[in-house]
Structure formats: C-alpha cells, structure tokens
C-alpha cells in the first residue's frame, strides 16, 4: 500500500494542523499521499486532486475524524474495494481504529505490512415512490424510516420476503447491519450483534404497542417498509447522513449490498472491550454528531 488518500473532517481539525501532521508522517515513510483540493489549500502538502478521483487512485484510505467521518468514507470506498483505516479525532469510536496519538505506531505497521483487513456487511436501499420516482443508497450502519418535524406517530407496514411482519404505529423503523446494531438501534432498544455476523436487524423506534419487538433476520432476506400515513412528515435517512422525504404509498426495500466495507485493523482490537468502554460513556458527551 504505497498510495494513500487522506479524507479529513475539517470541522474537527479546523486549522488542518493534525491533518498536516498525518500527511507529513506518511510522506516521511515513503507513501504517496493524495488529499482533496480543499484540504490541500489549508495544509499545503500532499498531492491535491478532486476528492472523487482519490477513490479511484489509492490503495488505502485514511479517514481522519470520528465514526461519522468513517461512515461517509466507507460508503464511497466499498464499490472500489479500497480498505479504510479510521484515525480518531473524537471520543472512543466503534469503527475508528487508531487514536491520533498512536498514528506513528499505526503508520509503522502499515509500512511493515503488519495489519489485517476486516470485512463488514453493508446494506443496499431502494426507494420506489408511488409517483414512479426511484432512488438508491448504501449504508454501513442503518436505514431509518422515521417521522420528521411533527411530534405525532407515523404508521408503517413491514414485510420480510413478502410476508407481513407487522403494522407499526411508531416514531419509525430501523433496518440495521450488525455493525449498526451499536448505533441508533441500540438507543431504540435493539440487541447488540457481533459485527462479523451477516444478518439484518429490524428495530421499531418508540412503538405504540407492547407486542412489537426487534427482529433479526437472515442477510439473504429483503425487508420492505410501506408508508401508510397520509400527509405526514416522513424521512428516509441512511447512516444518519443522507436521505429523502417519503410519502403515502412509497416503499423502501432493504437488503444485503454486494460489496463490503473493508476496515484496516492494527493489532488485536477487542470488540467487547470497546463495547464496555463505549457503553460506560454518557451519550450526551458523544461529539461525533457534528
């Protein structure tokens, strides 16, 4: 891996100092480093280019930010088969691999080939509008069909492989990958799933019924969510970062994506140790929501 792209979240590194340091450390070790034109204007080192070109040119991507930054990078990198190393500028994350203070150690490991690549299942999302419009998305964490601005509940129907699962009067429904089971779904009361499994999790958000519970289904299934409401504000959101409005009669279909996110791992990262540490934090202190 001699050609590296650095994608930096400049809201966490406003003056670009830490991004500059990361690029400099890579250059010293003989890597060719590509950065976006915007980042290059700030840090003045690395090879500048259009960000879309980075995903076609490099052997490895370094995501510099938090889990949110890595999610955005992962969705773009998956179809190109590019592995991603998450360098954390925020608090302890479930996805980001290395703290910024440990960058030298990580880059030495990359130079010496001392790393592994871990595959994570992703989700594909197809929107079929009642009016004929279609849109497609991919997600690493989750897909949410949920109410937007109004406080009232919405009404949804969910099907798995064509079979009706339930009618949901709720704030919304989540379809999560195993990786996403520790994200929004966890807050909504869903189970934690070991990230190496391949399955999908259907989790209701604040359901107005005592008999509605989360459901885990096979990754080969397709989950179909139908919007039943009239004149309600409903949104489809992907990894909490992309989305579109939904209307009565629209259908959202979620299944397994053909490509995987590839995460670079340095050394042995114990998922359960990270889980214990993360769950001991107070949620309002999570600063990767920016």
Dump pLDDT digits (tens) for 101-153: 999 999 999 999 999 999 999 999 999 999 999 999 999 999 999 998 776 88
Using an 8 Å Cβ cutoff, are 184 and 142 in contact? yes
CATH of the domain at 72: 3.40.50.10330
Residues 183 and 250 in one domain: yes
How many folded domains does the chain comprise? 2
Residues 224 and 248 in one domain: yes
Dump pLDDT digits (tens) for 29-43: 999 999 999 999 999
Residues 186 and 283 in one domain: no
Which residue in this structure is represented by tokens 């989700």? Answer: 123
Per-residue pLDDT band for 8 (boundaries 50, 70, 90) equals very high
Its domain, for residue 182, covers 122-258
Distance CA 267, CA 117 (A): 11
Per-residue pLDDT at 232: 74
Residues 249 and 190 in one domain: yes
Residues 149 and 240 in one domain: yes
Give Cβ neighbours of residue 273 (< 8 Å, ≥ 6 apart). Answer: none
Per-residue pLDDT at 92: 60
Per-residue pLDDT at 287: 44
CA 190 to chain centroid, in Å, comes to 17
Closest by Cα among 276, 138, 137, 143 to 203: 143
Which residue in this structure is represented by tokens 């099907």? Answer: 159
**150 exposed, middle or buried (CB, 10 Å; 0-12, 13-18, 19+)?**
exposed
Dump pLDDT digits (tens) for 188-224: 999 999 999 999 999 999 999 888 999 999 999 999 9
How large is the angle between the packed helices 103-111 and 17-28, nearest 10 degrees?
Answer: 30
Residues 203 and 139 in one domain: yes
Percent above pLDDT 90 for the chain: 81
- Give first-to-last CA distance, the chain, whole Å: 31
Using an 8 Å Cβ cutoff, are 221 and 198 in contact? no
Q: Is 67 a catalytic residue?
A: yes
Residues 176 and 220 in one domain: yes
Distance CA 164, CA 158 (A): 6
Phi then psi dihedrals of residue 174, to 5 deg:
-120, 140
- Above 70 in pLDDT, residue 70? yes
Residues 128 and 221 in one domain: yes
Q: Which of 21, 50, 67, 142 is catalytic?
A: 67
């Amino acid at each position: 891996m001699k050609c590296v792209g650095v994608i930096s979240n400049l809201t966490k590194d406003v003056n670009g100092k830490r991004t500059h340091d990361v690029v400099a450390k890579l250059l010293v070790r003989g890597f060719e480093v590509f950065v976006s034109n915007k980042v290059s204007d700030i840090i003045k080192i690395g090879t500048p280019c259009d960000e879309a070109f980075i995903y076609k040119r490099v052997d490895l991507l370094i995501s510099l930010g938090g889990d949110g930054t890595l999610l955005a990078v992962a969705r773009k990198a998956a179809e190109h088969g590019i592995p991603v190393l998450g360098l954390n500028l925020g608090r302890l994350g479930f996805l980001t691999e290395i703290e910024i203070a440990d960058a030298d150690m990580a880059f030495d490991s990359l130079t010496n080939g001392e790393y592994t690549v871990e595959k994570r299942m992703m989700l594909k999302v197809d929107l079929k509008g009642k009016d004929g419009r279609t849109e497609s998305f991919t997600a690493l964490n989750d897909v949410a069909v949920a109410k937007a601005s109004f406080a009232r509940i919405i009404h949804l129907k969910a099907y798995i492989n064509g079979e009706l699962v339930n009618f949901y009067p709720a704030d919304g429904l989540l379809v999560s990958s195993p990786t996403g089971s520790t994200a929004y779904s966890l807050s909504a009361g869903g189970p934690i799933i070991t990230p190496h499994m391949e399955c999908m999790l259907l989790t209701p958000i604040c359901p107005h019924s005592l008999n509605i519970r989360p459901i885990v289904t096979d990754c080969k299934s397709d989950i179909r969510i139908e919007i039943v409401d009239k004149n309600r504000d409903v949104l489809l959101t992907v990894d909490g970062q992309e989305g579109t409005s939904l209307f009565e009669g629209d259908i959202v279909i979620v299944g397994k994506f053909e490509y995987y996110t590839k995460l670079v791992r340095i050394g042995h990262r114990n998922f359960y140790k990270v889980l214990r540490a993360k769950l001991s934090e107070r949620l309002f202190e999570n600063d990767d929501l920016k």
